[in-house]
Amino acid sequence: MNELHKAKCFAIDKSQKLNVEKKKQVAEITMATGQKLMRAIRVFEFGGPEVLKLQSDIAVPIPKDHQVLIKVHACGINPVETYIRSGTYSRKPLLPYTPGSDVAGIVEAVGDNVSTFKKGHRVFTTSTISGGYAEYALAADHTVYTLPEKLDLKQGAAIGIPYFTAYRALLHSARVKAGESVLVHGASGGVGLAACQIARAYGLKVLGTAGTEEGQNIVLQNGAHEVFNHREPNYIDKIKKSVGEKGIDVIIEMLANVNLSNDLNLLSYGGRVIVVGSRGPIEINPRDTMAKESSIIGVALYSSTKEEFRQFAAALQAGMEIGWLKPVIGSQYSLEKVAQAHKNIIHNSGTSGKMILLLE
């Protein structure tokens, strides 16, 4: 056996021993405290993806009044979680914290005064108390929803932020009406596909953009009447040609810092640009809004009231039952690969479907 091979074997053996040792320590702590432990991602300081630390000795939370404990099967990864982690977002959690709001899984336990859910129920959430990048997550009962049998648990993790944001953008902010036209600018990601499905179900003419052939096909399969490649230099001209003189009534914008100026030129009289995402500043000419009396409206899902969340949930639950709400799953990551997921969701263009963490 050569020296290199010996060294490799020693390293593997040492690693295995350390794992066994760690598991023994976790088991000892569990026995000593009587509290179950779990693996979870913890953030101790704001910064790049490297601040996401996987720990295996986190106490499983105990549900209190009006709380539900969920055994997490999958958790959606959303761009907003990278902004929060970096410390640049308007809402900063207290450190340390576990990221993640959109979990899907099985109810493990419920606190007092919870009548809607019982152990064993399949559910998804729009928010968590303890964080979703973990084996168990605690959520307030009003943020937990029944997941219909026709959707699997991966799809359940793709509903929260994407569908509730898309619904708020279209129905609450843009106040779309059947027969209007909508352009989903960046339609192949989680929110974009949700917007296409909702807009089609509500009787709109749906146009979408995507940056890859795969993305364009997925957009067409999920409600868009027409799709354009936003990497082509003349794609704006193609959209103008397609919609004619009237222009577009509503634009759902995922990357306003790149597209907002073009959007204003595409709008119809009284048209609305709904800003769902932006990653920096952009220069626009306010005059572009004047002749058309158009509007630029920002959307923040967490400005929604409890009552609005209930309304959105009722409409989306109907979509699940009827069958037009069908989340498309994109790339999937384990807890160990969460830092890579955070890099990819920001830097990989040509997204197709919803990025999720798989817990089992």
pLDDT tens per residue, range 107-141: 999 999 999 999 999 999 999 999 999 999 999 99
Lowest model confidence (mean pLDDT) among 7-11, 160-164, 355-359: 7-11
Q: In this predicted structure, what is the pLDDT of residue 347?
A: 86
Q: In this predicted structure, what is the pLDDT of residue 21?
A: 56
Percentage of the chain surpassing pLDDT 90?
87
DSSP state of 222: T
pLDDT tens per residue, range 199-233: 999 999 999 999 999 999 999 999 999 999 999 99
Taking 70 as the threshold, does the pLDDT of residue 8 lie above it? no
Report how far residue 341's alpha carbon sits from residue 322's, in angstroms, rounded to the nearest whole number.
32
Taking 50 as the threshold, does the pLDDT of residue 31 lie above it? no
According to DSSP, the residues that pair with 70 across neighbouring strands are 107, 137
Provide the pLDDT confidence category of residue 91 given band limits of 50, 70 and 90.
confident
Q: In the predicted model, what is the mean pLDDT of residues 331-352? A: 91
Report how far residue 109's alpha carbon sits from residue 119's, in angstroms, rounded to the nearest whole number.
5
Q: In the predicted model, what is the mean pLDDT of residues 93-116? A: 97
- Residues 6 or more apart whose CB falls under 8 angstroms from that of 137 comprise 61, 69, 70, 72, 75, 100, 103, 105, 125, 128, 129, 130, 131
